[in-house]
Structure 1
């Protein structure tokens, strides 16, 4: 099968198409024929060496996928061959490939209302947002930084669906888009310091990093908290560093919101996986609204 691999750490040009054997599912695993793969900021961070959790190259990137079950490992009864599924995989043999092997607990049935492209855009981003916002309650004031990004625009919808008053930071060009998704207030971070524009926040969600979490502490209610998906931990009881957890069960729980139209994913660009270098350059620019998705090679 074809896969996108890299033999060294570096810029987008280290990504190359290689031929490798089709992997075989072990007990409790499923072999999926990949139809589409999502692109996440973590991909270019791993490629460039900014994040090292996969260890040294060679490895194949790609956390998110949507596709069709082709083979079942021993003991798997939750799915059948031919089922359409989506999910998130944390592996050195990722989803930038024609096939990927996934633990059954990481999979969920593809939402019936989504094509493979939009399903592949979801897993990492929607799990990150969903798990970070589990304690949001009706009436909470929720501040979401980078609200128009891949995780941010989903977080806006999840918080809104929970009954929160949602405040987002984003460029002015994205404000109308975010209002349509349920944001109540918006701050243009290029012209306004959010610490002067908001107060009494129950939960601030940091998807930017840098000093955003520290600054967000200043706008909290006394019992408020900062949930950070980006930066270095802070020694403050109101601060929580969040790391996404792979969970097919959570994807199943989120699916009714998707199928009811209360949660939608914005796909800014769809590219062939043959154009993965261009996709990484675009992702690394930090100017993506929603997600980038790669469709697999033509048969």
Structure 2
């Protein structure tokens, strides 16, 4: 028997509870993971509140989480890439905020020995979302990219990837995160009135592409004013505005190759995973509340002892 975080109705963080759950059985091409750490995404919070009910409804009792790091515990038929006891990280096919989770073999990679469990649990979803979004936007060396919510989980990864690929980054964030963005190699600017003018001052040569992780109409309108080619503006948070504005709605696209590139950059010291805080499964409600505060730098991670 294992433990899992679930909720039986939409609501605030108090609807979350930890229950006993039978370990899932891996089917062909899958493995079962004994989870050590799992990232908490903004999507998990939106799912719990019911914000996604129109296009991604919950199935009660609903779990959360789509990325994890842990130890391979059981193998499905046909699995030869991993063995029981291997330390891995990657995306899961079911809820990851649990003691046990399932994952496809192709969505996993061996965890580097020098990577702490909490960082391994936070790398996959944000890192691959950032990588896939920047790839879709055609970001190339020498270009200037504007990243909204640059201090968040996806934003932090995107800043570092653009820099590793030879680009320049202007990142929007609250002033308390400006020093952090400078450490990552971005030029920080604040939100609010006058955003377009501040970005133009920070990037006098212009902006080539925009990746948005804020999702407000104000930020997206500013992006459209800054970049005439709307095919090079993408959002992972403002999908409801994408159609009206003619910009791209982007999401998570997993692949072992993408994950391997991220891990390689980590090993080379060109990508770091910033964990804002860790919480045990039993404190999942507190972790959700912290994400909702809007003051998270990097990622929140749930840990399993």
- Alpha-carbon distance in structure 2 between the residues aligned to 1:112 and 1:59: 33
* TM-score when normalising by structure 2: 0.91
Which consecutive residues of structure 2, in runs of 5 or more, have no partner in the other structure? 201-205
Give 1:112 shift: 2.9
1:57 alignment partner in structure 2? 60
Contact in 2 for aligned 1:24/1:31 (Cα 8 Å): yes
Give 1:251 shift: 0.7
1:129 alignment partner in structure 2? 130
| Matched residue SS, 1:197 | helix
Give 1:275 shift: 0.7
Give 1:230 shift: 0.9
Task: Check if 1:215 corresponds to 2:217.
Answer: no
Task: Check if 1:85 corresponds to 2:85.
Answer: no
- Residues 145-179 of structure 1 deviation map (CA, whole Å, 9 limit, x = unaligned): 11111111111100111111110111121111111
Q: Name the CA shift for 1:74/1:90 in 2 (closer, same or farther; >3 Å).
A: closer
Give 1:236 shift: 5.2
2:189 alignment partner in structure 1? 187
- Alpha-carbon distance in structure 2 between the residues aligned to 1:186 and 1:198: 9
Task: Check if 1:37 corresponds to 2:33.
Answer: no
Give 1:198 shift: 2.7
1:202 alignment partner in structure 2? 208
2:203 alignment partner in structure 1? none
1:286 alignment partner in structure 2? 294
- Alpha-carbon distance in structure 2 between the residues aligned to 1:98 and 1:39: 15
Alignment of 1:65-214 (within 5 A): 65-91=68-94, 94-134=95-135, 135-183=138-186, 185-190=187-192, 193-199=194-200, 200-211=206-217, 212-214=219-221
| Matched residue SS, 2:36 | strand
- Alpha-carbon distance in structure 2 between the residues aligned to 1:128 and 1:103: 18
Greater fraction of residues in helix: 2
| Matched residue SS, 2:208 | strand
| Matched residue SS, 1:114 | coil
1:48 alignment partner in structure 2? 49
- Alpha-carbon distance in structure 2 between the residues aligned to 1:157 and 1:2: 35
Task: Check if 1:19 corresponds to 2:20.
Answer: yes
RMSD: 1.6
1:250 alignment partner in structure 2? 258
* TM-score when normalising by structure 1: 0.93
Which consecutive residues of structure 1, in runs of 5 or more, have no partner in the other structure? none
| Matched residue SS, 1:270 | strand
65-74 vs 216-225, which moves further: 216-225
Task: Check if 1:275 corresponds to 2:277.
Answer: no
| Matched residue SS, 1:95 | coil
User: What number of residue pairs does the alignment pair up?
Assistant: 292
Contact in 2 for aligned 1:168/1:187 (Cα 8 Å): yes
